[in-house]
């Protein structure tokens, strides 16, 4: 059969609109819309038959698309209206197609003797034609991987759902005070609820009234009732610490981007009692449903520092890609530490120098430290010390700096952790040693975290 024979077969299944005719031949020729392709076929069939084209025109509403192919403009306007208060650079259009239209699309091909997958689907055409109009009128680009927004056309409901995908802000933070965790730390006793059960004896609760309830676990004959009261462990806050780096940085970013919520992603984390100084620690803040994406980074850095009240500072802010989250969390990074160390007995300068020389460049075997073995698997890890040096402040105190591989437990490198870490500073000296203050000075990846490929506008 020729293409004219195929076109006659499709048109004969009428009433079928030009777009639905052309869609069955979408793989033929280039630079034409399906409506233009269908129109050309309809006219050619009329010419070949030497009859008026009116004999082959659509008579009534197209039974395949139920008139939707004539409403591309309407759907585009609905999308643009739904996006009127959303900042975007990229978009994608999707469609929830009613089952009947999908069935009609298949039935047309079947009735005309075409393969089921011939041409293009109705859904694909609608997405493309509406998307093309949205892009032209908003000056934005289509992105089939991770668009800023997805417009989802609901044909049965006659409306558009807008899915706003997250935005990401990269930077480095410095934690300027101790006792501040990186992220929220829910109370382990109340599970973050801030509540605990209070048991009142003799069937009385807080108002002194007997409510008749009993605790099935009581076995002393005393009636009991349970009521809630603030958790004693956390004071009713639900958290072990009243603030965190997350809580001091995320809200200004969410507000600047008019988002719904934010999630903090850090390149590892320092101990709660450690400061993060020097060049800072890389992080990404993921902003959910941002209605603004453009940010003034200098202004935002100042707003964060003001909001944090001098407890946290940030620098190097910039819009990042989704892939930056994985990069920050997974890229191998070395750390530089500065520690104040206290010795149980006086130490001389020469002994300290020899002990540090033994650690410089050493491979350290560390069994999971006792302070974290309740939440980490108990196993032996090996980590490298790239550099170790320092000097005595007095015979019982020293300032030590260590460059080490990611995952090196530096407090245990000093103390030995009851021989769970070897070699250690304490072991080399033969004197108990304890870190009394810890600062992280640098977190540097095996390649730069701020690779331009993971940042917008660079």
Helix (H) or strand (E) holding 428: helix 425-429
| Cα torsion angle, 353, 355, 359, 361, sign | positive
β strands within 124-209, DSSP E: 141-142, 149-154, 159-164, 167-175, 195-201
Contact 414, 426 (CB under 8 A): yes
Catalytic residue status for 273: no
Tally the residues of the chain. Answer: 458
Written as six digits, the tokens of 262 are 């934010």
Written as six digits, the tokens of 177 are 């005070």
**Rg of the chain taking only CA atoms, in angstroms:** 34
Q: How far apart are CA 147 and CA 119, in angstroms?
A: 27
Alpha helices in 277-348 (DSSP H): 297-308, 323-330
Residue (of 35, 52, 32) closest to 43 by Cα position: 52
Written as six digits, the tokens of 173 are 């933070």
Out of 148, 271, 417, 439, which one is annotated catalytic? Answer: 271
| Cα torsion angle, 205, 206, 209, 211, sign | negative
Residue (of 178, 175, 199) closest to 312 by Cα position: 175
Residues involved in catalysis: 271
């Amino acid at each position: 059969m020729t293409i004219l024979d195929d076109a006659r077969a499709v048109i004969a299944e009428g009433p079928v609109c030009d777009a639905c005719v052309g869609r069955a031949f979408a793989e033929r020729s280039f630079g034409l819309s399906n409506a233009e392709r269908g129109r050309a076929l309809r006219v050619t069939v009329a010419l070949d038959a030497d009859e008026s084209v009116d004999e082959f025109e659509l008579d009534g509403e197209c039974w395949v698309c139920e008139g939707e192919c004539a409403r591309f403009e309407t759907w585009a306007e609905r999308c643009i209206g739904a996006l009127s208060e959303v900042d975007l650079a990229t978009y994608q259009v999707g469609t929830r197609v009613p089952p009947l239209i999908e069935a009609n699309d298949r039935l047309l091909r079947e009735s005309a003797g075409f393969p089921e997958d011939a041409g293009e689907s109705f859904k694909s055409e609608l997405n493309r034609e509406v998307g093309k109009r949205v892009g032209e009128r908003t000056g934005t680009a289509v992105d089939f991987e991770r668009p800023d927004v997805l417009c989802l056309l609901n044909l049965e409901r006659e409306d558009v759902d807008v899915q706003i995908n997250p935005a990401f802000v990269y930077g480095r933070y410095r934690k300027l005070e101790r006792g501040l965790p990186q992220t929220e730390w829910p109370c382990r006793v109340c599970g973050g609820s801030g509540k605990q059960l209070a048991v009142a004896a003799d069937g009385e609760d807080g108002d002194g009234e007997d409510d008749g309830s009993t605790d099935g676990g009581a076995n002393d004959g005393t009636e009991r009732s349970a009521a809630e009261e603030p958790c004693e462990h956390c004071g009713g806050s639900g958290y072990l610490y009243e603030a965190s780096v997350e809580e001091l940085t995320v809200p200004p970013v969410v507000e600047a981007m008019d988002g719904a919520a934010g999630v903090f992603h850090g390149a590892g984390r320092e101990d709660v009692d450690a400061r993060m100084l020097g060049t800072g620690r890389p992080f990404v803040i993921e902003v959910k449903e941002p209605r603004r994406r453009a940010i003034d980074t200098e202004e935002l850095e100042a707003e964060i520092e003001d909001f944090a009240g001098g407890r946290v500072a940030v620098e190097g802010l910039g819009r990042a890609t989704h892939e930056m989250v994985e990069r920050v969390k997974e890229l191998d990074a070395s750390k530089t530490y500065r520690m104040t160390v206290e010795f149980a007995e006086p130490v001389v300068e020469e002994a300290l120098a020899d002990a540090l020389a033994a650690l410089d460049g050493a491979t350290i075997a560390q069994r999971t430290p006792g302070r974290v073995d309740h939440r980490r698997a108990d196993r032996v890890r090996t980590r490298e010390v790239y550099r170790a040096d320092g000097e005595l402040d007095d015979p019982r105190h020293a300032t030590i700096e260590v460059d080490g591989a990611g995952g090196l437990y530096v407090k245990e490198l000093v103390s030995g952790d009851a021989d769970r870490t070897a070699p250690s500073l304490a072991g080399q000296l033969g004197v108990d040693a304890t870190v009394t203050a810890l600062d992280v000075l640098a977190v540097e990846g095996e390649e730069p975290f701020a690779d331009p490929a993971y940042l917008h506008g660079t």
